[in-house]
Structure 1
Amino acid sequence: MTESLLHHRAEGPACGPPLLLGPSLGASYAVWGKIAPELSATHRVVRWDLPGHGGSAAGLIGPGATVGDLADLVLALADSLGLERFAYAGVSLGGAVGLHLALHHPQRVSSLAMICSSAHFNGSRPWEERAALVRGEGLAGLVETADARWFTPGFTVPELIADHRAADPEAYAACCDALAAFDLRERLPEIAVRTLLIAGRRDPATPPAHLREIADAVPDATLVELPGASHLAPAQCPEAVLTVLRAHLDGPAKRGMEVRREVLGDAHVDRAQSGQNAFTARYQDFISRYAWGEIWTDPTLDRRERSMITLTALVAHGHYDELAMHVRAARRNGLTPEEIGAVLLQTAVYCGVPAANSAFATAQRVLAEEDDPTG
């Protein structure tokens, strides 16, 4: 681990869909301790520490830091792990980092979840005052009031309180500087990624009104309010947060399965699912989530256009069994036999006559079966 990277912990299958988890100011990645292991059953979960918190070096940021600086550190971590695109969830300051990423680097973020967070943190003055206090007196006073800020009365997580006490004051103050300068309210309508907002109804730091403000402005946003939850909801109400996060993260796979059935037909998908085992389960999830849940649902191209592209690619690589399946899919997507023939004729020019010969034979067989299902 180099000191140029954020300290982090990775869990789950290396081939699983990546999910980055961001912490709150004052807390380490232990805030996700009851959720990350559960999510790692299906995802490659990477939780990270803020500079000067947990195991991250304090010198990663300095006075006058911004949320954008923290987001750059997260991207550097993702790059080091080979994560080109990832789902992101963050608490409080960690959620603000996710909002910045979704706005400024939308190509990297597949979905966003903000938990007890905000598009602004009540102006600069409170954070400037807190930064000055910490730089002058350290963290002892804030640690004494952490339970009241983080949890409902009578609840605590000793590990998080200990991490708060151990945080580096200068790095903590720099994070306060970042919060002081953060305000993305005017740009919320530009957020284009699927966004989940989780509010704690008893959260004094970022009350539900802050999350509602985001939900009202972000086009594809869902808001969930948790009764009885305060600011560090993942630590206080892990089961509730986990349930909502799972539904959010599984959205593309569910929609992908719907599209897969619409395009390929129930019979084919049922056969694929019936043959699924522990060895192939992750691959089937990958196909549903990415091929069907993201590519085939992208509105840039319609399904007719995607079918024509797919037919051409399958001919080019000689995948004639798959071609038969996608000739049937092309008919479901509205292509006529004449249009399918025109696509295959074009492949004779660009993929070669022998490939087109095999493609025409495959397509003719499939189309004949459609005309005479008993044949």
Structure 2
Amino acid sequence: MSHIEKISGGYVHFDIQGQSHRVYFESAGTGPVLLCLHTAGSDSRQYRGILNCTAITERFQVVCFDLPYHGKSSPPAGWQQREYQLTSQLYVDTIIGFMQAMDIERPLAMGCSIGGRVVLHLALQHPEKFRGLIGLQSGAHVNPYYNLEWLHRPDVHGGEVCAGIVSGLIGPHAAEAERWETLWHYMQGGPGVFKGDLHFYKAQGDLRALAHQIDTRKCPLHLLTGEFDYSCTPDDSRDLAQMIAGAHLKIMPGLGHFPMSEAPEEFIAHLLHVLQKFH
């Protein structure tokens, strides 16, 4: 049966570190904003299950956006003259700039993987701007486990290499359709974008020396981590939770590194328990 999803989309123009950007976003629902941040090398299509979940959209306005260079957000003018590298400050400035451009005040923000790392930076730099933060597959650091040079070479298919690298991070119980849609998003990434994102994740965003400074009295922090993930392992998230007084951690059985896209229904069951604390 045909139907139209109750999701609206558009573009917002704003400056990031003095440069003009045109950023694509989607939203659904009404109420306080739940701002969703996608993983490295992918885009906000990962949150399709959240955008279409009435149990969430009846209580929250879900807002997702594609980082510059990702999905429907093009790079800024002059991108061809420099290598793309995501830094901690650029990431934070992009999120805060988007919120300001969209008149979003004190959202509940949720990010996965690099998004799960950047919510920690948001907690350190701007706790007053958020009613709460949710880190999916969130750790204070990650040990490199493959050579990033493979992600941007002229002699290999970049999209297929990116998908191949992350394929093992999906939980073993994910349905075939959800597994392959998650991988398809990676296959469509622009040249060097996944590599540039991982500059933040693997080289520049290490928070082991700072995580203990996060004050959950100013901004509550909830961590949800899939059982089957060797990028951010359950132990990585346990170590992070031990660093931060008042942080809440739930290990999600059967899920992997992309819970919101690889197993939307199973993930939403865990997420609803957290959302109850913010409404």
- For 2:69, which of 43, 52, 77 is the aligned residue? 52
Q: 1: distance between equivalents of 2:242 and 2:23?
A: 33
- AA in 2 matched with 1:168: G
Aligned partners of 1:250, 1:72: CA distance in 2, in Å? Answer: 29
Calculate the aligned-residue CA RMSD, in Å: 2.2
Query: 2:92 aligns to what?
Result: 71
Which shows bigger deviation, 72-81 or 144-153? 144-153
Question: Taking structure 1 as reference, are residues 64 and 154 closer, same or farther at Cα in structure 2, changes over 3 Å only?
Answer: closer
Residues 188, 114 of structure 1: alpha-carbon distance in 2 compared, 3 angstrom cutoff: same
Query: Which residue of the other structure, out of 159, 166, 171, is the alignment partner of 1:146?
Result: 166
Q: Is the 8 A contact 2:175 2:263 kept in 1?
A: no
1:117 is matched with which residue: 138, 146, 152?
138
Q: Aligned pair 1:184/2:204, yes or no?
A: no
User: Contact (CA 8 Å) 1:112, 1:195: kept in 2 or not?
Assistant: yes
Map of 1:247 onto structure 2: 273
Distance 1:35 1:226 in 2: 17
In structure 2, relative to structure 1, the CA distance for the partners of 1:135 and 1:145 (3 Å cut) is closer
1:320-339 to 2 correspondences below 5 Å: none
The reply on whether 1:85 has 2:106 as its aligned counterpart is yes
Q: 1:151 to 1:82 in 2, by over 3 A?
A: same
The alpha carbon displacement at 1:68 in A equals 2.4
Larger relative contact order (CA 8 Å, sep ≥ 6): 2
| 1:103 partnered with 2:103 | no
Residues 292-340 of structure 1: per-residue CA shift (max 9 Å, x gap):
xxxxxxxxxxxxxxxxxxxxxxxxxxxxxxxxxxxxxxxxxxxxxxxxx
Specify the SS of the correspondent of 1:185.
coil
Cα contact 1:58–1:170 (8 A) shared by 2: no
- SS at the partner of 1:35? helix
Match of 1:8 among 18, 25, 31: 25
Bigger share in helix: 1
Structure 1 position 153, deviation (Å): 6.5
Aligned residue in 2 for 1:198: 224
For these two proteins, the number of residue pairs brought into alignment is 247
CA distance in 1, matches of 2:271, 2:209: 26
- Taking the aligned partners of 2:185 and 2:69, their CA distance within structure 1 comes to 10
Contact 1:67–1:96 under 8 Å retained in 2: no
CA contact (8 A) 2:117 2:135 kept: yes
TM-score normalized with structure 1 length:
0.61
Whole-Å separation in 1 of the counterparts to 2:143 and 2:44: 25
Tell me by how many angstroms 1:189 deviates. Answer: 1.9
Deviations along 1:236-283, one digit per CA (max 9) or x if unpaired, are 332333233222222144xxxxxxxxxxxxxxxxxxxxxxxxxxxxxx
Aligned 8 A contact 1:5 1:73 in 2: no
Does the Cα contact within 8 Å between 2:84 and 2:196 map onto a contact in 1?
yes
Superposed, 1:229-240 pairs within 5 Å as: 229-240=255-266
Alpha-carbon distance in structure 1 between the residues aligned to 2:22 and 2:93? 10
Over the matched positions of the two proteins, sequence identity in percent amounts to 24
Contact 2:34 2:109 survives alignment (8 Å): yes
Instruction: Say whether 1:21 aligns with 2:36.
Output: yes
C-alpha distance in structure 1 between counterparts of 2:225 and 2:185, whole Å: 24
CA contact (8 A) 1:5 1:76 kept: no
**Structure 1 Cα separation of the partners of residues 39 and 251 of structure 2:** 18
Separation in 2, partners of 1:86, 1:41? 16
Q: Distance in 2 between matches of 1:195 and 1:141?
A: 34
Q: Do the aligned partners of 1:58 and 1:168 also contact (CA within 8 Å) in 2?
A: no
TM-score, structure 2 as length reference: 0.80
Out of 208-217 and 152-161, give the one that drifted further: 152-161
> Which entry has the higher C-alpha Rg, 1 or 2?
1
The corresponding residue for 1:159 is 181
Q: Provide, for residues 342-368 of structure 1, a one-character-per-residue CA deviation record: whole Å limited to 9, x for no partner.
A: xxxxxxxxxxxxxxxxxxxxxxxxxxx
From the two aligned structures, give the one with the greater strand fraction: 2
In 2 relative to 1, CA 215–151 (structure 1 residues): closer, same or farther, beyond 3 Å? same
**Paired residue for 1:225?**
251
Could you tell me which runs of 5 or more consecutive residues in structure 2 were left unpaired when the two chains were aligned.
1-10, 14-19
What is the Cα deviation at residue 145 of structure 1? 4.1
Q: CA deviation at 1:106?
A: 0.9
1:37 maps to amino acid: N
Shift of 1:53: 2.1
**Alignment of 1:170 onto 2:192:** yes
Partner of residue 335, structure 1: none
For the residue of structure 1 that corresponds to 2:21, the secondary structure is coil
| Counterpart contact for 2:21–2:75, Cα < 8 Å | no
